[in-house]
Structure 1
Amino acid sequence: MFIKEVLGIKTSQKFFHQLLTLYRPFENRLNVHLAEHQLYRAQWTILYYLAHNGSVTLVELSHYMGVEKPTVTRTMSRLEELGYVEHVPGKDKREKRMQLSEAGKQVYKDVRVTIDDYEQAILEGITEQEQMETIRIMEEIRKNITK
């Protein structure tokens, strides 16, 4: 209480505090829902990206996810073992491109239903306009972070 009284809490501090306290509970609950499909968040992130972007390289995925390439390689290997992703011939033989397999496309559709229900529940009371403004703000913050 003393710090708040003396210094006051800036709006930016409240903003980032809320962001940090939102992330972990969201991810934990998301993983509970993904476990119904024997998946984890990192795997779901890759399935999502492939469903929306087609074939990609591991380097592209690592940049998108903000993690090192070996981390993406391990996750992608597991998805390949599950039969959800497959290699695609690239222009350059050294380039390893991956895409969703037919099984991966079906799993994506099945999991999407579960995730849509979860996301709708946690966005209850938040208008589409408010969601769009929040998306815009998050994109701007990400851009500023990655400058």
Structure 2
Amino acid sequence: MLYRPFENRLNVHLAEHQLYRAQWTILYYLANIGTATLVELSHYMSVEKPTVTRTIYRLEELGYVEHVPGKDKREKRMQLSEMGRHVYKDVRMTIDQFEQEILQGISEDEQNEAIRIMGEIQKNIAK
């Protein structure tokens, strides 16, 4: 009951930056974790590699991501471009404001407890 309304509102905010959720997820990963292969991104997003490939292709077209030379020539390693870092910062400000709106009235302790509980649920699902 939370997922769809959250996703819909998030997509409205992301649309202000001409992005979709999957694209934002990749930008977020690359900004916070660093370079990644398409396989690493597909595992992180829990989707098939062709899905990530299509999303990466679009982000490359927009100039937000670029290839990084890897150890193995077959490995497609990606990183944020300069433009991608700029877009990430802009979108991050929008997302931070959105998060503040939806967490209004919920204490920091309650937020931390919810994060802990969701982590436990995630572990149980992954078993």
Which TM class, normalised by the smaller chain length?
over 0.9
Q: For the residues of structure 2 that align with 1:55 and 1:142, how far apart are their CA atoms?
A: 25
2:99 paired residue number? 119
SS at match of 1:87: strand
TM-score normalised over the length of structure 1:
0.84
1:68 paired residue number? 48
2:33 paired residue number? 53
Shift of 1:126: 0.6
1:86 paired residue number? 66
Shift of 1:39: 0.4
Identity fraction in percent: 82
Q: State the Cα RMSD in Å.
A: 0.7
SS at match of 1:104: helix
1:100 paired residue number? 80
Residue 136 of structure 1 is aligned with which of 112, 116, 119? 116
The number of residues matched between the two structures is 127
Shift of 1:105: 0.3
Gaps of 5+ in 2: none
Shift of 1:83: 0.2
Q: For the residues of structure 1 that align with 2:50 and 2:33, how far apart are their CA atoms?
A: 21
Structure with the greater alpha carbon radius of gyration: 1
Q: With a CA cutoff of 8 Å and minimum separation of 6, indicate the structure with the bigger relative contact order.
A: 2
String of CA shifts for 1:97-128, please: whole Å, max 9, x gaps: 00000000000000011111111000001111
